[in-house]
Amino acid sequence: MGSVRFCVIDTCQQTAGAVCMCCQETYCITHLNEHSNRFKAELTPLSNDLEKISVKISTEYLLIRVHSVDALKKWQKEAHEAIDVFHKRKQQEFEEFFDNQHENHRREHANLQTQLDQLKSKEDLNQEDIDSITKSVRSFEQQVSLYRYLQLILSPLTIDEQFVTIHQKLPIVDDYLPLSDPQQTIEMKRRSFSIAANDNLILIEQDAKLCLTDQQLTIIREIPWSRSTIHDMIWSNTLKIFFIITGQDIFTLHEKADIVKKLSITDADTKHWYCGTCTSDSLFLSVMGLNPFIFKYSLLPSFRFTKKYSSIVYQQEDIFVQDLSSNNHIIGILSETKQKTILFDIYSSTSFQRYWTITADCLTGLHGSRCCSLTHNQWMIINPNNSQIIYVSAGGHIFKKEKYFASPVHAVQLNSNILVILTETYLNLHKLL
């Protein structure tokens, strides 16, 4: 006959009637019910929380929806008003033009009619008078006939999808810092200033060669490189090519080819290229020097110059652009003023409207620094002077800073979970946790 088991509650002398399947303790019937009810009681606050969330979903959804629809209607009204104002101004210009033309021709016609009437009453009319009035009438006839060549040129109104977008500001950032130890590393045989990457490959310069490596940093292709110093390298996901920027020329390298091609830029003049970045539809290039222009080139349907932006257009003066980076349709510009103040600005890639800027004390002394775009519209600034990594949130706040174990030169995000950092002597791959 087995031993009698008692309730686990110290003050209870009742025989155990059951074993809790959760904690494997024995209880009498009374205390088992209390034990079970205690767990159920913990569910009550969660039920209340879910009810609050349900109300929040309904109310906030409706508020945001109504606000967004109202804002869109307001934008539509303002857009229509802007078009109406433009139409009214152009109509007034056209009417004034035609009225002036008509009045001038009417006066010229009256003047010629008067001359003709005078000649008819002239007693000593001669051939010279006839030739002169004939020439004047024929000339006036040609002027009037030019009316039929007047043509109203109407360009279609191009609507950019980026005029109206749904953007969700993420209050939670991916906390990538502190970085994990490098999971892969290779030694750089000579100093490089830039790297580039797509989801699978990394492009580096090594021993007068352009090298493409995989995610284990195994070199899978090598292309001879004998041109001048590379200032920057960029990946275009749209064209599936790497852009390689030197001082005087831009080159391209297809991810599956071994041929480096010089890019023909007809408006290049004698520009000294310095850095660049690619969005889904455009290539942006900055030149070296004070108050540099930023040049925009469309990628499709063909590569062509689109526009250039002066430092006044992008709302900064007396600056040196240190680096460009992009995230979807957003451009990041890292620059330095003549007073050695470091600025990090975020702009729309379509309108070049500035969204936000950072001018904090912690950015002091970042001469020669680079910026790197991360997922979720977040950014990383690397400072080779003090080996610091600065993590910037999507809303323009410095989220965290970390001291890197070596002097970082450049950084790119390989895919959603790998960060590649180039130092003066090594190339390191960090897994983003």
Each residue's pLDDT tens digit, 231-270: 999 999 999 999 999 988 999 999 888 889 998 886 656 5
From CA 427, how far away is CA 414, in angstroms rounded?
13
The stretch 84-94 carries a mean pLDDT of: 89
Give the amino acid at 231. H
**91 or 39: whose pLDDT is higher?**
91
**420 or 125: whose pLDDT is higher?**
420
pLDDT reported for residue 169: 54
> What confidence tier does 367 reach under pLDDT thresholds 50, 70, 90?
low
Whether the pLDDT of residue 320 is over 50: the answer is: yes
Q: Which residues contact 348 (CB under 8 A, 6 or more apart)?
A: 162, 329, 330, 331, 355
Helix axes 127-145, 29-120, angle to 10 degrees: 170
The stretch 388-396 carries a mean pLDDT of: 85
Domains, the chain, with CATH or none: 184-431 (2.120.10.30)
Q: Is 295 exposed, middle or buried (0-12, 13-18, 19+ CB in 10 A)?
A: buried
Q: Summarize pLDDT for 209-234 with one digit per residue, the tens.
A: 999 999 999 999 999 998 889 999 99
Give the amino acid at 120. K
Structure tokens given for 13: 């002398």
The pLDDT mean for the chain works out to: 84
Q: In which region does residue 319 sit, left (phi positive, over 0), alpha (psi from -120 to 50) or beta (all else)?
A: beta
The stretch 131-139 carries a mean pLDDT of: 89
Tell me the range of 86-90, 157-161, 169-173 where mean pLDDT is highest: 86-90
From CA 154, how far away is CA 307, in angstroms rounded?
22
Whether the pLDDT of residue 1 is over 70: the answer is: no
Percent share of the chain, pLDDT over 70: 90
342, 396, 400: which is closest to 369 by C-alpha? 342
pLDDT reported for residue 153: 78
Please check whether residue 395 is in contact with residue 383, taking contact to mean a CB–CB distance below 8 angstroms.
no
> What confidence tier does 60 reach under pLDDT thresholds 50, 70, 90?
low
368, 367, 329, 363: which is closest to 346 by C-alpha? 329
Whether the pLDDT of residue 125 is over 90: the answer is: no
Give the range among 21-25, 231-235, 361-365 with minimum mean pLDDT: 361-365
Structure tokens given for 117: 């009437």
pLDDT reported for residue 173: 54
Please check whether residue 26 is in contact with residue 8, taking contact to mean a CB–CB distance below 8 angstroms.
yes
Whether the pLDDT of residue 142 is over 50: the answer is: yes
Rg (CA), the chain: 36
4, 15, 7: which is closest to 31 by C-alpha? 7
From CA 414, how far away is CA 215, in angstroms rounded?
8
